Amino acid sequence: MALSAQAAGRASCHISHTKSIAGRRGTLDEMMREIVPGAVERYAKKNPNIMVAEEADNESYVNDGEGGFRLCEDIREVMEYGDARAARLSRKITKDKKNKRGEMVGGTVTTTTFLVHLPRTMCVEQPDFYPAINPRTGKRRIDPETGEPASRSRWVARDRDEADEYFSAVLEYLGANVVPGGMDGILGISLQYSENTPHMHVLADTFGDDPKHPGSLRQDWSRAYSEHRDVRDEDGRRVPGWEKIRDLHVGLREHLIAKGFDIERESSERSTESLAKAEYVASMQALETAEETLARVAKLEPEARAEAERLVKAARQRSSEIISDAQTESADILDEAERDAQTVRSSAREAGRQEGRAEGQAEARRLQQAARERLAEADATYAEAMTARSIPSEQARHLASLGAKTLASAISKRVDERTREEVERTRASVERTFAKNSEVLIGRAREVERSYGNKLVSKRVQVSQAQKSLEDDGMEF
C-alpha cells in the first residue's frame, strides 16, 4: 500500500508570557543573535542546530513607530521602543508580592513572545543532516532497525520569498487580532533560517490604548489572553482564556487559507491547552519522528511495510508516551532547554540575582506543586457543590425563622424595654411574612445556593490561573 504525502501544512504557533521588562534583553540576545557581537558563536556552542555560515541569512526588525518595521542594528533599539511604550502606561507596573501562603503573585504581565514555524509542506527535507544525540548520555543514538548511528532531518525553506510571505501573513494576523496594542505593540521580530526548521520570533508587549486616558496605555494581558470582566460573549458570560486561544487559532488558520496558503482547517487536540516550551518542542520532535517514519515506510519492501505500518499505528495510539519519550530522547529538547537556560542566566546577571537561581528554581517547583494541590481541592469542592442536593423547602423556612429569633434575642439583650418590645413585634411580623410568602423565601434560599456555587466556580478558575502563571504559560494555537 502506497502512503500519500501530507496534503496540507500545519499552522503552528507557540505563545508565552513573562512579567519582567528587563528580561526582554535576554530574549533578544538569542532571537537577534546575528546582530549581537559574539552571540552567534556563544549560542552555536550550545545549539548544534545553528548553521553559523547561514546566520547572515537571518533578519531582525524593530518597530519604526509608524505602523511598520525597519531593519534592526542593535537590540537596544527594541528595548528603547518598548521602554517608551511602558512609560505611557496610565497605571504603574506592579511587582509580585507574597500572599498569605507565601507565594509571589499579582505582578503585571508585560511581555508576550510568539514562535511561529514554517509548515513542512513549504520546506524541503534534507535527510540525515544532524546526528541524533541522546541528551542523557551526550552520545549519538543508534538506529534500532539498522544498528547504524541515527540521524535526523533538517528542513529548509522551499522558496525564501514564499516563506517571507507566510511569516508576513502571520504577523499581519497577530497585529490585527491578537496583540492588544496592534502592530504598535509588536516591539521586534526575527526571521530565522539558519536552524533545523525556518521560524519567526515575535516580541510584543501586553499594553493597549486606554480609552479613559487618551494618549496613554493600559495593561491588557487578561483582556487578550485570560478572563476579564470586560470581555463577555453574547449571553453575558465572561469568555475564559482557553476559548480566546481556541478562537485565535481558528482565526489564524482561516486568515492563512484566505491568503492562499495550503493549511489544514482542523486544529490539533492540543490547540487549546497550555504547553511549556520544552513540551512544545517535544511534541514537534515527536511529529518529526512520525513523519520520518512514514517516509521510510514508503520505501520498504511490501512484506516489511505492513509490519512497519502496524508499529506506527501503535505509536500513535500511545501518543502521550511518544511525547514523554521525546522530552527525554530528542536532541531538540536539549537545544531549547539550553536556550532557555541562557536567557535566564542573562536576565539573572542583569538583575544581580545569579547566585539565587537554584533557590528560585526550587521555590518555583514548590509553588507549582502547591498550585496543583489547590486545583485538585478546588475541583473536588466544585464537583461536590455541583452534585449536592438543594436544601429542603421546609428546612429553609425553619432556618429563616430560627435566624430571625436569634437576631431578635441578640438585639434585645443590648437595648431598653421599649426597644425590646419593638424588636419582638418586628420579629413576629417577619415570621408572618415568611408564612405568607414562603415561595419568596425559598426562592431567596435557591439564590444563595446558586451564589455559593458561582463563588466556587470563580475560586476554581482563580486557582487554575494561579497554577498556570507559576508554570511556563505557553499556549499553542
Q: Which of 126-140, 296-310, 450-464 has the lowest mean pLDDT?
A: 296-310
Size of the chain, expressed as the number of residues it contains: 477
Q: In the prediction, which pLDDT does 322 show?
A: 44
- Residue 283's φ and ψ, nearest 5 degrees, are -65, -40
Q: In the prediction, which pLDDT does 167 show?
A: 97
Torsion of CA 239, 244, 245, 247, to 10 degrees: 130
CA distance 230 to 447: 24
> What are the DSSP calls for 49-96, one per residue?
T--GGGGGG-EEEEE-SSSSEEE-S-HHHHHHHHHHHHTTBSSPPPPP
Q: How far is CA 417 from the centre of its chain?
A: 65
Q: In the prediction, which pLDDT does 277 show?
A: 46
Residue 476 DSSP label: E
Q: In the prediction, which pLDDT does 393 show?
A: 63
CA distance 85 to 184: 9
The helix (run of H) or strand (run of E) holding residue 295 is: helix 277-299
How many C-alpha atoms does 235 have within 13 Å on its Cβ side? 3
Beta carbons within 10 angstroms of residue 444's beta carbon:
12
Q: In the prediction, which pLDDT does 427 show?
A: 77
pLDDT in tens, 293-316: 455 545 545 555 565 566 556 555
Contact 217, 209 (CB under 8 A): yes
Percentage of the chain beyond pLDDT 70 is: 61
How far is residue 367 from each of residues 28, 379, 463, measured CA to CA in Å?
Answer: 28, 18, 12
Cα three-residue angle 419-424-429, rounded to 5 degrees: 125
Q: Which of 194-208, 277-291, 351-365, 415-429 has the lowest mean pLDDT?
A: 277-291
Which of the given ranges, 28-37, 233-242, 323-332, has the highest pLDDT on average?
28-37
Residue 108 DSSP label: P
Q: In the prediction, which pLDDT does 9 show?
A: 72
**Regarding predicted confidence, which is higher, 85 or 410?**
85
Torsion of CA 241, 247, 253, 259, to 10 degrees: -120
CA distance 319 to 323: 6
pLDDT at 458 over 70: no
Closest CA to 462 of 383, 386, 388, 377: 377
Q: In the prediction, which pLDDT does 126 show?
A: 94
Q: In the prediction, which pLDDT does 385 show?
A: 57
Q: In the prediction, which pLDDT does 473 show?
A: 45
Q: In the prediction, which pLDDT does 105 show?
A: 85
Percentage of the chain beyond pLDDT 90 is: 40
Q: How far is CA 192 from the centre of its chain?
A: 22
